[in-house]
Amino acid sequence: MTEALFTADFKAEPHWWDAARPHHTRQAALPEKVDVAIIGSGYTGLVAALHLARAGRSVAVLEANEAGSGASRRNAGYLGRTLKRSFSWLEAHHGAEFATRVYRELDEARQFVFALVAELGIDCHIEACGRFIGANSLAHQSELLRELEVMQRRLGFLYHAVSRNDLQRELASEAYVGGAVIPDLGALHPALYHAGLLRAVAAAGVTVHTGTAFGGAKPDSDGFALTTSAGPLIARDLVMATNGYTPRFAEWLARRVIPFHGFMAATEELPAELVARLIPNRRTVIDSHVNINFIRPAPDARKILFGGLTGGPQPDLQARGRDLQAMLAGILPDLAGVKLSRAWSGQCAGTFDFLPHIGRQHGVWHALGYNFAGVPMGSYLGHKLAQKISGKAEGDTVFGTTPFPTFPGYSGNPWFVPLAMRWFDWQDARLARKAG
Ligand SMILES: Cc1cc2nc3c(=O)[nH]c(=O)nc-3n(C[C@H](O)[C@H](O)[C@H](O)COP(=O)(O)OP(=O)(O)OC[C@H]3O[C@@H](n4cnc5c(N)ncnc54)[C@H](O)[C@@H]3O)c2cc1C
């Protein structure tokens, strides 16, 4: 390990695990039968489990590893209403009604998390800190402001523009030509949020069977007969809540979700005054590219957390850490040479239409394909799954109304992701060359 780059206590694991590490739950034998078996113990699986248990269903959550070992304790904790397809793009290709429903529900998802955290009393540093989007060029700035203006007018989503002269009020950087602030977007501590959900699920009487890998299911007169590493299980309903960790044997889903790596790192501890000077309003920060770099203060404002290189090759975390640190120093030159205390990766899931999907295929329920927005969308669609399984009309959502597309020949091997990222980079560079 390059000593100059990493602190003496460097760990290749999420910063968040210092406060809430994934763990095995107290082991209980699998029951013979349940109303609902949920595969995956992330936000989607737990929120579905909580609401199903409240509706009187017996529920077993099956988790191959430790509880929360997937992306739900590895992400950046951004709480937005973002989608890789803009409102205008959706309107042009699917009509105004569809675009409006999508963005309204994205906003409901953000609000749903604030409400759930308040209701369950989860101490996870949730706050509406606002988000600063740095524009990488004048053309990006015009495009960004045009889109935000459309959404403000049509949907009432507020924003304010940031000029180059005012950039330092948001970020101690010369990397952007300006940008915009979206004041109501939020942030939380993703692992503490997950830990709170896990406590709520246990209190509702649900067992999370960790170290229990789901191996497949066959239709049975009572629903499904599941094979698991802990023995058989009969479930009337079966839910796949596996997002970027969806197993290849779940063929129909594996042909539709595109797993890819997200990378993050944490700096060494920094003086509080330095963090306050670098990100004065303590907002989350992204840029205007499709394949974003992102920076935020840790909730205690003693470190800066940042990520990028999304979709890059299989994690060599030291090499990735080096690349991420160079990226960080390019944006915040004050942090050139700063050491890294943590670097980590996790699995995300893209889709061919860039939309999350919820539905039922061959009798099996699913909600996944969050395209890097699973903190709000996993929570929200987990709730929708529970409503659908309980037969409630409130389970209807726009994310269940369009076909879940695949691509001819795709069977779950995402070999093309690095090429797709290059394509996005090329598009961003092409836009940057346009006059602003
Ligand atoms: C580095 C990074 C940064 C991110 N930043 C953000 C962000 O700031 N904001 C945001 O909204 N989103 C972000 N995301 C995405 C977000 O974390 C995910 O979309 C979300 O956590 C998905 O939750 P989930 O419950 O659907 O799946 P996960 O939390 O990934 O859980 C899926 C679980 O399924 C289990 N599983 C799979 N197969 C089996 C099997 N056969 N048997 C039993 N269990 C199985 C896995 O072990 C895993 O624990 C980020 C992701 C990464 C990796």
pTM for the full model? 0.97
| pLDDT above 70 as % of the chain | 98
The answer to whether the CB of 315 falls within 8 A of the CB of 259 is: no
In a domain, 135, yes or no: no
Point out the ligand 1 atom lying closest to the alpha carbon of residue 373: 11
- Above 50 in pLDDT, residue 315? yes
Q: What is the DSSP string of 18-79?
A: GT---BPPPP-PPPSEEEEEEE--SHHHHHHHHHHHHTT--EEEE-SSSBT-SGGGTS--EE
In which domain, by residue range, is 198 found? 6-126+182-433
Reduced to 3 states, what is the DSSP secondary structure of residue 361?
Answer: strand
How many Å lie between the centroid of ligand 1 and the Cα of residue 194? 11
Q: What pLDDT is attached to residue 435?
A: 63
Say yes or no: CB of residue 348 within 6 Å of ligand 1.
yes
How many Å lie between the centroid of ligand 1 and the Cα of residue 63? 12
222: CATH = 3.50.50.60
Contacts of 341 (CB under 8 A, 6+ apart): 6, 7, 9, 10, 11, 15, 266, 267, 268, 269, 303
Q: What is the tens place of the pLDDT at every residue in 4-36?
A: 899 999 999 999 999 999 999 977 899 999 999
Cα–Cα distance for residue pair 152/174, rounded to 1 Å: 28
- Which two three-digit tokens encode residue 214? 């789901």
The CA-based dihedral angle spanning residues 93, 255, 50, 396, taken in that order and rounded to the nearest 10 degrees: 30
In a domain, 394, yes or no: yes
Point out the ligand 1 atom lying closest to the alpha carbon of residue 76: 8
Q: What pLDDT is attached to residue 3?
A: 56
> How many residues are recorded in the chain?
436
Give burial (CB, 10 Å; 0-12/13-18/19+) of 213: middle
- Above 80 in pLDDT, residue 92? yes
The answer to whether the CB of 50 falls within 8 A of the CB of 200 is: yes
Q: What pLDDT is attached to residue 436?
A: 59
Point out the ligand 1 atom lying closest to the alpha carbon of residue 43: 25
Q: How confident is the model at residue 2 (pLDDT cuts 50, 70, 90)?
A: low
Say yes or no: CB of residue 262 within 6 Å of ligand 1.
yes
In a domain, 319, yes or no: yes
Say yes or no: CB of residue 400 within 6 Å of ligand 1.
no
Cα–Cα distance for residue pair 167/173, rounded to 1 Å: 7
Q: What pLDDT is attached to residue 1?
A: 46
Q: What is the DSSP string of 70-117?
A: SGGGTS--EE----SS-HHHHHHHH-HHHHHHHHHHHHHHHHHHHHHH
Q: What pLDDT is attached to residue 83?
A: 93
Q: What is the tens place of the pLDDT at every residue in 147-199?
A: 999 999 999 999 999 999 999 999 999 999 999 999 999 999 999 999 999 99
Say yes or no: CB of residue 245 within 6 Å of ligand 1.
yes
Q: What is the tens place of the pLDDT at every residue in 40-91?
A: 999 999 999 999 999 999 999 999 999 999 999 999 999 999 899 999 999 9
Say yes or no: CB of residue 243 within 6 Å of ligand 1.
yes
Among the ranges given (85-99, 273-287, 411-425), the one the predictor scored with the smallest mean pLDDT:
411-425
Q: What is the tens place of the pLDDT at every residue in 398-429?
A: 999 999 999 999 999 999 988 888 888 888 88
Say yes or no: CB of residue 242 within 6 Å of ligand 1.
yes
Q: What pLDDT is attached to residue 313?
A: 74
Q: How confident is the model at residue 316 (pLDDT cuts 50, 70, 90)?
A: confident
Assign residue 371 a region (left: φ > 0; alpha: ψ between -120 and 50; beta: otherwise): left
Say yes or no: CB of residue 372 within 6 Å of ligand 1.
yes
- Ligand 1 pocket: which of 81, 245, 345 to mutate (most atoms within 8 A of CB): 245
The answer to whether the CB of 71 falls within 8 A of the CB of 244 is: yes
In a domain, 91, yes or no: yes
Q: Closest Cα to residue 142, out of 295, 284, 283, 288? A: 288
Alpha carbon distance, N-terminus to C-terminus of the chain: 43
Q: What pLDDT is attached to residue 422?
A: 87
In a domain, 41, yes or no: yes
- Ligand 1 pocket: which of 242, 317, 344, 368 to mutate (most atoms within 8 A of CB): 242
Say yes or no: CB of residue 42 within 6 Å of ligand 1.
yes
In a domain, 174, yes or no: no
In a domain, 159, yes or no: no
How many Å lie between the centroid of ligand 1 and the Cα of residue 372? 9
Strand partners, 167: none
Q: What pLDDT is attached to residue 191?
A: 98
Q: What pLDDT is attached to residue 81?
A: 95
Average pLDDT, the chain: 95
Say yes or no: CB of residue 241 within 6 Å of ligand 1.
yes
Counting the structural domains of the chain, the total is 1
In a domain, 13, yes or no: yes
